[in-house]
């Protein structure tokens, strides 16, 4: 247990040392969300129509791009080898790393999202649902992403490979998340979408750490 | 002088929130920046002092 | 089968489509030192990684204190210290922070004082608060090696610990290893340099390419 | 002659010089701000279309001006530092960036707080607003790049290069955004609808801009002193300086 | 000159050895472009309205994600040092590397784009303009991207930092590119957009190699 | 000033906020060997990178054949061969392909036959068509070093060329370097190992941390 806490604290410390890392995830989210109006045009009606989809895709991409960093430095400097031969249960260590990743890359996006929602002319209750859906959905993104990150360790160009492995698994999260916001835009209750999202997150919490641990063992061999 | 009273002044013709928020935020940001720079200076001075004493 | 050390039975290893080595047997008892020698590419690093469980043997078994490590991996791993070609240091953290974290992750208990004296022992205390990133090749290696002054583990597996070290550091390291051996520890070491470590019993395992 | 000038622009001589200049700029800034605020709240008349909300203009426009102006100055210092391989200009560029980013943010936020009562919305994808947003990204990129490189010399050079590339692109970005916006005639509001400027309004904005300008110089000088201390804390002149300071206290 | 050809051939050979890299850029483009209908909903009218913007943003992100790889492996295995001390003009070598990057990551996207345009119910002439605009615009993306890639060499979390540095500079390309397609959708001639795009590409061809070379020298120091 | 070799005049180097070294002067004439020795972290690698122009000196100058290299960088660089801590090999290509590409990039002309005999000379011909990725530490180093059998450049700058090599390879390398020197070449070498290279004139530059 203490190893878990140490690992979490170490990763947060490292993230803090490199504050710009945290900031860049956020700004990537912000920039991608701001690129779309430039491509699509500035009409508020169109923008608010596509807002749920765009914001969720932007959040998803921002979370995904930071995945490469989850294990890469541990792998290349040898810390991962040491974690694997440590007498601790590996899935627990994985949970610590995923949690650190979510705190650093997921949480800030959740907090920033309403501001960008304003740029897309989203009404207030849709904004609330947006935040809720991100809060319930982003942990699943980190958990599933960890499997991809572990599988592609030490593979050149892993950034894109991760995308390829992980995006199909992200699709349910995207559908429920964007669906929740769209529902509340249309005045329908978003509860069904949100509980599906929560269920999906729980499921990945149970399964993903084991899959990630197995993937790590394979990658290091 | 076109304000009939102080309360009219603070009310800003009904736009008090927007006007005072804008000016207030500006003042706040600038003040915060000054404080942040001073804090940075204190930290730097302390470190430099420690180092100077080390060397002696 | 009441050995208190490590025994390898008929180990073999295949990489790519080549058999790197086969029929490797040895027994290392407390106080014993095993040199693994051989040319470049003869399979020394592979053997060491295999002993730690980082790669799987093609055949054969490893016993620790009489039990097959397949069935008692945790026990074995908590007695084992491995240092490979990589240093296992975070470039953004200072030596002190690195050692602290590494010890916790390995399940050991250390305090800051101990770490400082370990760094002192191998003469990198001067760099203790710089980020590891700016250290030279040899300084990084020394920081990694200072774990040896902190640990109580019984079996040390060291892959080319002397590479990149200057001669004073080599001497310090040699005396630390012999101290460990005289306290009943065991060590498996690869090297290309001529280094003499005093031990109660020294074995040499020579791999050929 | 030139060489001499740059010798005197070394951190060692500039540090105390900057220290003496800061209070002057700070006080001038305060004076200008007082005049500017007085004009904006007590002399400038009420706007017949927008009511009192238009008074936001007195922070909004100066902040927007400063945000663009500081970027140009920053790029100028960066170019100087890169071409002369000198330290002081690079430090100045680094010292200006956060202030520029803050003014950009202020222009955006005060603009939004103006837009809400006037347009009924916090944000439209108008050309000016959009390019201001992009300017914010350019600032943040500069800051992020510098803070993620630890070797200060390397960070200086990399940042300078980025600022120069940015400055080549800023006009292109500005015009492309403008063009994009006029092509899609989505937003029905344009800022041309703003009322014609009364001279007092212009005067108020001018004084506020001057105040911001002086403030910027003062803060940048303070920050550049910090940067010098941080980078050269091991050098002899810092030690001498500190000893003098403690000697004076004792 | 021969050095340039050698470098180009080497990079293409390496890309060929790692075919999955090429494939992943493509699939990333494909997946991002396919995520939107999932997030936004299937109405053809909306989709064809947002198609130019979405396709261009997807192309831009796909190109950007592969930027990290442009110099990273040369940097970490020491080839870059050797390139810097070689008696060849560095900007020429940079051009070779950028060209290789474009052939591997830009060209396939150009070729795949019309297929995806079909999914978004784009008419034929808009598809043609889409291909043309990508053909003229993607070289600028590679060239400008190279500067960002060179500046962030050896910086941890460089993937996101590149995004932050480079995306604002990509905006003119995005605007003209998407604008060209949108214009032809509305029956207006796209010529003006396309020539601006070409001009921008030429400008970056002239300036970017020098900036990149300077950035490389800074990063290796 | 009609030296045919390399001269360093009053070089100094600053890393972080530390002065690594200052007032370094030396002259190396054809046939001469310069050892750069010093403890870990004393600045050997930094000095070598500085000589190649990879990092900038805080002050001082380097002359090549009488001319300041600042003004004649291309001439200097086409006479220079540098090998640092990194090998400069692509993991996905075979040794042969790597050497071919590296030679072209450096502006040299080599054919496949020459490459094969260079690999033969340092005894890694056996691995010539494996991807470099699967080679052992020492095999990679040897592939990188085989450039020395292919080049006609006059000044070799080698940073710890003997690290990770087994003893036969060390001997091969030593004899190649002395051959180069006896042909009128020059070499600057750092090492922590005791290695004797025969040369017409040997200088030692000792850096201290
Ligand atoms: C988020 C919202 C806004 C942003 C980011 C923004 C940004 C800017 C910028 C960058 C400028 C300087 C342009 C220049 O000097 O060429 C500016 C000037 C100005 N803005 Fe805004 N603005 C915003 C909202 C508004 C609103 C809502 C209004 C009026 C109803 C407004 C009216 C003006 C006026 C009158 C100027 C002065 C133009 C001049 O002096 O040439 N702005 N704004
Ligand atoms: N996938 C593979 N395909 C073919 N050969 C392989 C593969 N992986 C490893 N090898 C071979 O196995 C050997 C690796 O040996 P190892 O790294 O254990 O050598 P070593 O004895 O530690 O050498 P060094 O002294 O150079 O460190 C090399 O000869 C290498 O060519
Ligand atoms: N940014 C920095 N800040 C502080 N110190 C630095 C920085 N960069 C390098 N150094 C110091 O400079 C020295 C680097 O020296 P260098 O790598 O040249 O050593 P070396 O003599 O090659 O050592 P080794 O034998 O271990 O390879 C180290 O002492 C390191 O701590
Ligand atoms: Mg080995
Ligand atoms: Mg070194």
Q: What's the rounded mean pLDDT across residues B25-29?
A: 93
Cα D213 to Cα D222: distance, rounded to the nearest angstrom: 14
Q: What's the rounded mean pLDDT across residues C64-93?
A: 85
Over residues E163-181, the pLDDT tens digits come to: 889 999 999 999 999 989 9
| Predicted confidence (pLDDT) at residue E129 exceeds the cutoff of 90 | yes
CA D50 to chain C, closest CA, distance in angstroms equals 54
Angle formed at CA C166 by CA C163 and CA C170, multiple of 5 degrees: 70
Contact check, Cβ <8 Å, F77/E73: no
Do residue F169 and residue F204 come from a single domain? Answer: yes
Angle formed at CA C159 by CA C153 and CA C160, multiple of 5 degrees: 125
| Residue C72, φ and ψ in degrees, nearest 5 | -135, 50
Q: Provide the pLDDT confidence category of residue A208 given band limits of 50, 70 and 90.
A: very high
Angle formed at CA E107 by CA D131 and CA E175, multiple of 5 degrees: 15
| Predicted confidence (pLDDT) at residue E21 exceeds the cutoff of 80 | no
Q: List the one residue out of A149, A162, A11 whose CA is nearest residue A72.
A: A149
Please report whether residue D102 resides in a domain: yes
* Ranges C1-5, D162-166, E127-131: which has the least confidence: C1-5
Residue E32's domain comprises 2-220
Cα C141 to Cα C166: distance, rounded to the nearest angstrom: 11
Q: Which residues pair with F207 in a beta bridge?
A: F38
Cα D54 to Cα D205: distance, rounded to the nearest angstrom: 12
**Which residue among C41, C83, C164, C190 has the greatest number of ligand 2 atoms within 8 angstroms of its CB, and so is best to mutate?**
C41
Over residues A171-203, the pLDDT tens digits come to: 889 999 999 998 888 888 888 999 999 999 999
Over residues F24-54, the pLDDT tens digits come to: 999 999 999 999 999 888 999 999 989 988 8
- The count of domains in chain D is 1
* C174, burial (CB in 10 Å: exposed 0-12, middle 13-18, buried 19+): middle
Cα F54 to Cα F35: distance, rounded to the nearest angstrom: 20
Choose the closest CB to A121 out of D121, D133, D181.
D121
Touch between chain A and chain E (3+ CB pairs, < 8 Å)? yes
Do residue C109 and residue C173 come from a single domain? Answer: no
Do residue F132 and residue F192 come from a single domain? Answer: no
**Span between the terminal Cα atoms of chain C, in Å:** 32
Cα A112 to Cα A127: distance, rounded to the nearest angstrom: 11
Residues of F in contact with E12 (CB under 8 A): none
Q: Provide the pLDDT confidence category of residue D250 given band limits of 50, 70 and 90.
A: very low
- The count of domains in chain C is 2
Angle formed at CA F112 by CA F107 and CA F116, multiple of 5 degrees: 115
Q: Distance from the CA of F54 to the center of ligand 5, in angstroms? A: 14
Touch between chain B and chain A (3+ CB pairs, < 8 Å)? no
Q: How many residues are there in chain C?
A: 209
Q: List the one residue out of D103, D21, D27, D35 whose CA is nearest residue D63.
A: D103
| Predicted confidence (pLDDT) at residue B30 exceeds the cutoff of 60 | yes
Over residues D33-78, the pLDDT tens digits come to: 999 998 888 877 777 677 777 788 889 999 999 999 999 999 999 9
Choose the closest CB to E38 out of A39, A49, A171.
A171
Residue C104's domain comprises 88-152
- The count of domains in chain E is 1
Please report which ligand is nearest the Cα atom of F141: 2
| H/E element, F62 | strand F59-64
| D125 interfacial to chain A (CB closer than 8 Å) | yes
Q: What DSSP string describes chain C?
A: ---SSEEEEEEEEEETTEEEEEEEEEEE-TTEEEEEEESTTSSHHHHHHHHHTSS--SEEEEEETTEETTT-HHHHHTTEEEE-SS----TTS-HHHHHHHHHHHHT----HHHHHHHHHHTT-GGGTTS-GGGS-HHHHHHHHHGGGGT---SEEEEESTTTT--HHHHHHHHHHHHHHHHTT-EEEEE-SS------SEEEEEEE--
**Span between the terminal Cα atoms of chain D, in Å:** 40
Write the residue with the smallest CA distance to atom 42 of ligand 1: D111
Residues of F in contact with C139 (CB under 8 A): 40-41
Q: Which residues pair with C206 in a beta bridge?
A: C37
User: Mean of the per-residue pLDDT values for chain C?
Assistant: 88
- Chain-centroid distance of CA B44 in Å reads 21
| E172 interfacial to chain A (CB closer than 8 Å) | no
Q: Is the pTM of this model over 0.90?
A: no
> Ligand 1 within 6 A of D64 CB?
yes
| Predicted confidence (pLDDT) at residue C107 exceeds the cutoff of 80 | no
Do residue F20 and residue F42 come from a single domain? Answer: yes
Residues of D in contact with E164 (CB under 8 A): 137, 140-141, 144
Chain D residue closest to B32 (CA)?
Answer: D102
> Ligand 2 within 6 A of C43 CB?
yes
Q: Please name the residue that has the structure tokens 């849709």.
A: A126
pLDDT score of D193: 45
Q: What is the ipTM of this complex?
A: 0.78
Q: Which residues pair with E140 in a beta bridge?
A: none
Please report whether residue D57 resides in a domain: yes
Q: Pick from C136, C152, C168: which residue ends a domain? A: C152
Q: Which residues pair with F13 in a beta bridge?
A: F21
| Predicted confidence (pLDDT) at residue D26 exceeds the cutoff of 60 | yes
| B38 interfacial to chain D (CB closer than 8 Å) | yes
Tokens coding D98: 């956060």
Cα E53 to Cα E192: distance, rounded to the nearest angstrom: 18
Do residue C69 and residue C2 come from a single domain? Answer: yes
Q: Distance from the CA of D210 to the center of ligand 2, in angstroms? A: 69
> Ligand 3 within 6 A of C31 CB?
no
| Predicted confidence (pLDDT) at residue B28 exceeds the cutoff of 60 | yes
Tokens coding A216: 């790590």
Over residues A61-87, the pLDDT tens digits come to: 888 878 877 888 788 777 888 788 777
Do residue C144 and residue C196 come from a single domain? Answer: no
| Predicted confidence (pLDDT) at residue A158 exceeds the cutoff of 80 | no
Over residues A87-110, the pLDDT tens digits come to: 778 899 899 999 999 998 899 999
Who has greater pLDDT, A24 or C174? C174
* A155, burial (CB in 10 Å: exposed 0-12, middle 13-18, buried 19+): middle
* F72, burial (CB in 10 Å: exposed 0-12, middle 13-18, buried 19+): middle
Cα A18 to Cα F119: distance, rounded to the nearest angstrom: 44
| D172 interfacial to chain F (CB closer than 8 Å) | no
Write the residue with the smallest CA distance to atom 40 of ligand 1: D61
């Amino acid at each position: 247990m203490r190893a878990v806490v140490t690992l979490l604290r170490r990763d947060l410390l490292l993230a803090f040392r490199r504050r710009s890392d945290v900031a860049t995830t956020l700004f990537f989210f912000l920039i991608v969300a701001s690129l779309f109006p430039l491509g699509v045009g500035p009409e508020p009606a169109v923008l608010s129509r596509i807002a749920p989809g765009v914001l969720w895709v932007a959040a998803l991409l921002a979370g995904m791009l930071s995945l490469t960093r989850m294990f890469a430095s541990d792998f290349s400097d040898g810390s991962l080898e040491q974690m694997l031969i440590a007498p601790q249960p590996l899935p627990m260590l994985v949970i610590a790393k995923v949690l650190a990743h979510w705190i650093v890359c997921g949480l800030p996006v959740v907090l920033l999202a309403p501001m960008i929602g304003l740029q897309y002319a989203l009404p207030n209750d849709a904004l609330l649902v947006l935040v809720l859906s991100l809060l319930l959905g982003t942990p699943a993104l980190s958990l599933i992403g960890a499997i991809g990150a572990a599988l592609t360790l030490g593979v050149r160009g892993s950034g894109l490979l991760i995308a390829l492995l992980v995006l199909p698994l992200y699709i349910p999260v995207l559908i429920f998340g964007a669906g929740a916001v769209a529902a509340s835009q249309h005045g329908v209750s978003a509860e069904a979408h949100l509980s599906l999202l929560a269920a999906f997150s729980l499921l990945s919490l149970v399964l993903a750490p084991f899959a990630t641990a197995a993937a790590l063992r394979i990658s290091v061999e | 002088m076109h304000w009939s009273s102080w309360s009219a002044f603070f009310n800003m013709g009904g736009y008090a929130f927007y006007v005072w928020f804008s000016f207030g935020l500006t003042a706040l940001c600038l003040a915060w920046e000054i404080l942040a720079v001073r804090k940075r200076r204190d930290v730097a001075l302390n470190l430099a002092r420690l180092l100077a004493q080390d060397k002696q | 089968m009441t050995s208190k050390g490590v025994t390898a039975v008929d180990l073999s290893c295949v990489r790519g489509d080549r058999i790197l080595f086969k029929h490797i047997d040895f027994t290392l008892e407390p106080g014993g030192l095993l040199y693994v020698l051989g040319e470049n590419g003869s399979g020394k690093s592979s053997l060491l990684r295999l002993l730690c469980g980082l790669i799987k043997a093609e055949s054969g078994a490893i016993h620790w204190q009489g039990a097959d490590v397949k069935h008692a991996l945790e026990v074995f791993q908590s007695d084992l210290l491995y240092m490979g070609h990589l240093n296992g240091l975070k470039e953004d953290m200072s030596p002190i922070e690195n050692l602290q974290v590494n010890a916790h992750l390995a399940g050991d208990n250390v305090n800051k004082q101990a770490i400082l004296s370990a760094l002192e022992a191998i003469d990198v205390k001067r760099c203790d608060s710089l980020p590891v990133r700016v250290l030279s090749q040899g300084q990084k290696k020394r920081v990694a090696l200072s774990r040896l002054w902190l640990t109580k583990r019984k079996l040390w597996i060291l892959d080319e610990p002397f590479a990149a070290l200057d001669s004073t550091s080599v001497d310090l390291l040699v005396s630390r290893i012999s101290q460990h051996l005289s306290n009943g520890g065991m060590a498996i070491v690869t090297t290309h340099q001529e280094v003499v470590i005093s031990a109660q019993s020294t074995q040499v395992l020579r791999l050929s390419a | 002659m030139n060489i001499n000038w740059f010798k005197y622009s070394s951190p060692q001589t500039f540090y105390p010089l900057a220290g003496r200049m800061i209070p002057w700029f700070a006080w001038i800034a305060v004076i200008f701000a007082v005049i500017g605020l007085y004009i904006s709240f007590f002399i400038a008349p009420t706007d017949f279309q927008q009511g009192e909300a238009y008074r936001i203009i007195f922070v909004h426009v100066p902040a927007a001006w400063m945000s663009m102006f500081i970027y140009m100055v920053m790029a100028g210092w960066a170019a100087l530092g890169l071409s002369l391989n000198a330290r002081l200009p690079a430090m100045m560029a680094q010292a200006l960036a956060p202030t520029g980013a803050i003014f950009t943010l202020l222009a955006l936020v005060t603009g939004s707080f103006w837009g809400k009562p006037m347009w009924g919305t916090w944000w439209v994808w108008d050309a000016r607003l959009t390019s201001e947003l992009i300017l914010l990204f350019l600032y943040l990129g500069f800051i992020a790049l510098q803070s993620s490189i630890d070797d200060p010399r390397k960070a200086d050079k990399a940042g300078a290069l980025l600022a120069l590339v940015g400055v080549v692109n800023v006009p292109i970005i500005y015009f492309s955004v403008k063009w994009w916006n006029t092509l899609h005639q989505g937003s029905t509001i344009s800022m041309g609808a703003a009322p014609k400027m009364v001279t007092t309004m212009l005067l108020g904005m001018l004084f506020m801009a001057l105040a911001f300008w002086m403030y910027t110089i003062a803060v940048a000088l303070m920050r550049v002193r910090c940067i010098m201390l941080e980078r050269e804390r091991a050098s002899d002149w810092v030690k001498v300086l500190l000893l003098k300071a403690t000697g004076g206290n004792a």
